[in-house]
Amino acid sequence: MVVTENDPGNERRGDSLERVVGAYVSGVITRRQFMRRGVALGLSVPAIAALLAACGGGKAEPEAEPAPSPTPPEATPEPAPAETEELQPVVGGSLREGYDLDFSRMDPINTNWYDPGFFTLYDAMITNDPDGNYVSQLAESWEFSADGLSATFKIRPGLAFHSGRALTSTAIKEVYETIQDPKSGSPLGSLASPIAGYETPDDTTLVVKLNHPYYDLLNVVKTGYWRIVNTETRTRLGEDYAKNEVDGSGPFTFVEWIPGDHVTVKRWDDYPGSTVPYFENTGTAYLDEIRWTPILEAAQRAIQIEGGEIDTLHAPAFQDVDRLTQNPDLNVLTFAEWSGYILTTNFKKNPALEFADLKVRQAISHAVDRQSIVDSLLFGHGEPLYGPITSADLYYNPEVEQYNQFDLAMAQDLMGQAGWKPGADGILAKGGQKQKFDLTIDNESFSKELGAVIQAQLKELGMDVGVQSYDRGTFFSKILDEPGVDMSMFFYLWPVPVDVVILFTHTKTIPVPNWGYASIPEVDAAIDTWQNAANAEELQAAGQGFHLAVAQHLPIVPVVNRKKIWVHRKNVHGWIPHQWNLYPYYNDVWLEA
């Protein structure tokens, strides 16, 4: 059963058949809740029963509930389907999860990437529920002042770090101040620039003072890079933090990180519990342990979950999705994805390549046949990106679709206008400089396939592109060490794509993480508008304006977006990936014997 949760734009908080089915299959709602919501959508009881039979799985009923409301008059009421025997959560066991990328050091303040383990080791101020709403995690409530110049968060009392230190407003203030310190190496430090300071009138109150209205603050504090770490432990360990010790407040504690091999965490028995509204389990975790394994060879991911070597999986090879869907032991969950593959053209490293010339960047973009990539490499499980943001996002602007369409003749004409002419070997040249450069990628198998396609498509334009692939750590060292690389391909993964694309494109973030050294006034102006938005409506308009500015001026070249696909064996319960968080939480997860 494939469940698709594709709910773009402002409709994200409305109910839909796709959302109800997705919530049931992934264990968010029970059979009775499924029936009630199905009736509310106008479905007859027989239709609901057929859907339940097709879905299978679902979540055991916690207690007896009344039957669903009567069906509409035009439908004929029939008895509800028989309930299956109630299953009770089992304490114990080790969850084995396969992942498509290697893991970074799990320090939220300074890391290249944040991984699923962050959602077990650390808590954020707030998070998102399966409908996209902001809900409490460390903060019980929050509000902006009438003038938009402060935000007050009320912190849940009685919280603590794994080490035993009290998790108070002061401890959170220390984290946020460290993020803002340029010496910290935080990739999101620039997103804190609108913050003027913090006040902690008591242990459960944090007031964030703002230089100007900054409604995007809520999007920032929920991310992995703003999760709360004990700065005392982090300072004591220095560069060794998160290599052998992690001090967060999540329901699991750190065991070990072996780069290229695995990450493991174990249950924290002193966990004070959670108040996240959609969690069923408000106490300590059920699982003894979780072990994540990177499976960089895409074809192996399906093989391992089919063979029972792993219990859950992120990102099977796209050609394997249909086969996995037919496996009676598995559930396949497909969601719209906010992220995407982008090309970064370095404005600084080799000026003779003229990547700073908009015509050259436009030519590269028009030479990329995005739809053929979606069809041939993603097997339809994705979409072309004509701007930097997927159509699933709240801030998507359909006007971008007039830009960056595949048109090889236009690409060749643009290079000609820029003064580049093909030589005898077909490679474009100007003033003795050939369009010959390297494309740097990571060594995950799909990235290598996509890199080869980009190489071939740019060859049709007259560019001689070599592809260099590296393990993830070396990849980041190559692109981040000044002056970087000529061109890189990167898959960004972020719950609010405007914020992450800002990091790649703002003049203020040169050289990290704007490793392409792009400096474009129109893009900077669009970023300023976004960061001064005072409410949800202004943020919506600013997001659409930024999207358009990037599509027009191409500080990065968007390529394609892939679907987010998760797979789990049916003996796994309470594992609830959803569209609005990058990773699932594991508080509710238990394994049926």
User: Tens of pLDDT along 385-401?
Assistant: 999 988 888 889 999 99
Put simply, whether the predicted model's pTM sits higher than 0.85 gets the answer: no
Task: Answer yes or no: do 267 and 128 share one domain.
Answer: yes
Q: Which residues have a Cβ under 8 Å from the Cβ of 73 and sit 6 or more positions away?
A: none
Contact 370, 548 (CB under 8 A): no
Task: Answer yes or no: do 438 and 374 share one domain.
Answer: yes
- Hey, is 313 helix, strand or coil? strand
- The structure tokens listed for 410 are 């236009």
Task: Answer yes or no: do 314 and 393 share one domain.
Answer: no
Q: What is the pLDDT of residue 436?
A: 98
User: Tens of pLDDT along 362-420?
Assistant: 999 999 999 999 999 999 999 999 999 888 888 899 999 999 999 999 999 999 999 99
Task: Answer yes or no: do 31 and 143 share one domain.
Answer: no
Residue 285 vs residue 102, higher pLDDT? 285
Q: What is the DSSP string of 335-388?
A: E--S-EEEEEE-SSS-GGG-TTSHHHHHHHHHH--HHHHHHHTSTTSEEE-SSS
Q: What is the DSSP string of 465-507?
A: EEEEEE-HHHHHHHHHSTT--SEEEEEE--SSHHHHHHHHH-G
User: Tens of pLDDT along 190-247?
Assistant: 788 899 999 999 999 999 999 999 999 999 999 888 999 999 999 999 999 999 999 9
Among residues 88, 123, 145, which one ends one of the domains? 88
Task: Answer yes or no: do 490 and 578 share one domain.
Answer: no
395-399: which pairs have CB atoms within 8 A and are 24 or more residues apart? 395/497, 395/498, 395/539, 395/540, 395/543, 395/544, 395/546, 395/547, 396/8, 396/9, 396/544, 396/547, 397/543, 397/544, 397/545, 397/547, 397/548, 399/544, 399/548
Task: Answer yes or no: do 327 and 348 share one domain.
Answer: no
The whole-number average pLDDT for the span 323-338 is 93
CB atoms within 10 A of CB 237: 16
* Closest of 583, 574, 579 to residue 91, by C-alpha: 574
251: amino acid identity, one letter: P
Q: What is the pLDDT of residue 43?
A: 53
Using CA atoms, how far apart are residues 536 and 289, in angstroms rounded to an integer? 40
Supply the CATH number for residue 476's domain: 3.10.105.10
Query: Structurally, how many domains does the chain consist of?
Result: 3
The whole-number average pLDDT for the span 121-127 is 97
Q: Which domain holds residue 21?
A: 1-88
User: Tens of pLDDT along 67-111?
Assistant: 333 333 333 333 344 444 678 999 999 999 999 988 889 999 998
User: Tokens 């300071």 label which residue?
Assistant: 197
- The structure tokens listed for 249 are 């407040």
Task: Answer yes or no: do 287 and 412 share one domain.
Answer: no
165: amino acid identity, one letter: R
CB atoms within 10 A of CB 413: 14
* Closest of 18, 23, 592, 32 to residue 329, by C-alpha: 592
Task: Answer yes or no: do 102 and 161 share one domain.
Answer: yes
Among residues 32, 64, 88, which one ends one of the domains? 88
Task: Answer yes or no: do 301 and 348 share one domain.
Answer: no
User: Tens of pLDDT along 524-554?
Assistant: 999 999 999 999 899 999 999 999 999 999 9
DSSP state of 320: G
Q: Is residue 8 very low, low, confident or very high in pLDDT (cuts 50, 70, 90)?
A: very low
Task: Answer yes or no: do 180 and 300 share one domain.
Answer: yes
Cis geometry, peptide bond prior to residue 272 (ω within 30 degrees of 0): no
